[in-house]
Structure 1
Amino acid sequence: MFMTKYVRLATSQDRDAMMKIIDEGKQSLAADQIPQWQDGYPQASDLQKDIDAQNAWLLIVDGQVAGTATLLTHPDPNYARIYDGSWSAASDDHYTSIHRIAIASGYHGQHLADFYFSNLMTLSYQLGFKQLRIDTHAKNARMQHVIKKAGFTYRGIVYMANDATDQRNAYQITLS
């Protein structure tokens, strides 16, 4: 069966569908005993800020919101310092970063993350960025697999808001 799938900017009307996907992601992380997203973040207000800044991108499958992600086009303060590694030699502060990415539970197992990541890379390139960064919790093996499969390389460790208890594995890809 052929699926129609594409990526588009989110609007305020999409926020509830986005939050439902985020909540499913929180439940999945909790079931896997991963502390990421277990402190109330992200909230609907975080998603609304992404929408207002035109940084929220949806994965649409057969007319339904199947995924949500944020593509930041400004330097992420959490990436200013990296430990036990380094950003690539060609890196600078001109990069996009992918955050708050999740696929709706009803779409798991369909390899849609591959399509989603490819589209986010294309958007980055079209916006003039050849470098992308992403992070995930060290216990989130599923996301690490998806990130590596998309072509990202492990670069080191970053901390969220300089919190020593909120450590993440950081990844980077450079497009040519």
Structure 2
Amino acid sequence: MTSVMIRLAATTDVPAIMDIIQQAKHLLAADGIPQWQGAYPTKDDVTRDIDRQYTYLLIANHAIVGTATLFQAADPNYATIYDGAWQPGTSDHYATIHRIAIAPGHAGAHLGDLFFSNLTSEAYRLDFREMRIDTHVKNKRMQHVLLKAGFTYSGVVRMDNDPQDLRNVYQLML
């Protein structure tokens, strides 16, 4: 059995995180998904989130195999939702998963499922009762993982109010 856990990232983890992000960028490009094809996410984005204690690492057999940001403030990109709605009774107190990536080479190990389960538990421990996440409309792989993790499709948002940068948004009530 593989030993799997999550932990908060430290600044010494930045090279490993950036390596996983670079690998994820290549995978997205190979799938024809324009998400993350520019400079974003940058080393500064990662470092800022580590300083806020928002970045978590997925550890399997003592190696860093995944990274995610558990953002703990309302996301301005989620203020206006198109072609859908957030579930009734929601508020601005929710955690958002951003910049999630698992190193290629772990296909079939269901590490994404374990990562989402651990992030959900961590959000609950931090007193959040709602989680949100977005993914590019073309990212069918992530959409499948989200539905399997119990997230519900809620609609579409525009990133930074750009009508060309559309993301499907999902929500999970805890």
> What TM-score bracket applies, with the shorter chain setting the length?
over 0.9
Q: How does 1:16-165 map to 2 (within 5 A)?
A: 16-165=15-164
Give the secondary structure class of the aligned counterpart of 1:14: helix
Q: CA RMSD in A?
A: 0.6
Query: How far apart are the structure 2 equivalents of 1:107 and 1:12?
Result: 24
Shift of 1:41: 0.6
Amino acid at match of 2:157: V
Work out the CA distance in 2 between the residues paired with 1:11 and 1:59. Answer: 13
Residue of structure 2 in register with 1:15 after alignment: 14
Name the counterpart of 1:172.
171
What stretches of structure 1 move > 2 A for 4+ residues in a row? none
> Which moves more between the two structures, 70-79 or 100-109?
100-109
Give the Cα–Cα distance (whole angstroms) in 1 for the partners of residues 62 and 38 of structure 2: 32
Tell me which amino acid in the other structure corresponds to 2:152: T
Compute the displacement of 1:106 (Å).
Answer: 2.2
Deviation at 1:44? 1.0
TM-score, normalising length: structure 1: 0.97
Report the alpha carbon displacement of residue 103 of structure 1 after superposing the two structures with TM: 0.3
CA distance in 2 between partners of 1:129 and 1:47 (Å): 22
- Structure 2 letter corresponding to 1:164: P
Question: Structure 1 residue 108: deviation in Å?
Answer: 2.3
Deviation at 1:39, TM superposition (A): 1.5
Distance, in Å, in 2 between the alignment partners of 1:7 and 1:171 is 22
Q: Distance in 1 between matches of 2:12 and 2:139?
A: 30
Distance in structure 1 (CA, Å) of the matches to 2:151 and 2:4 = 23
3-state DSSP of counterpart to 1:67: strand
Letter in 1 for 2:67: T
Aligned equivalents of 2:71, 2:136: Cα separation in 1: 19
Q: CA deviation at 1:174?
A: 0.1
Distance in structure 2 (CA, Å) of the matches to 1:119 and 1:105:
20
What CA distance in whole angstroms lies between the structure 2 residues aligned with 1:97 and 1:60? 20
Q: Report the number of matched residues.
A: 174
Alpha-carbon displacement from aligned partner over 1:143-176 (angstroms, at most 9, x marks no partner) = 000011000000000111111111000000101x
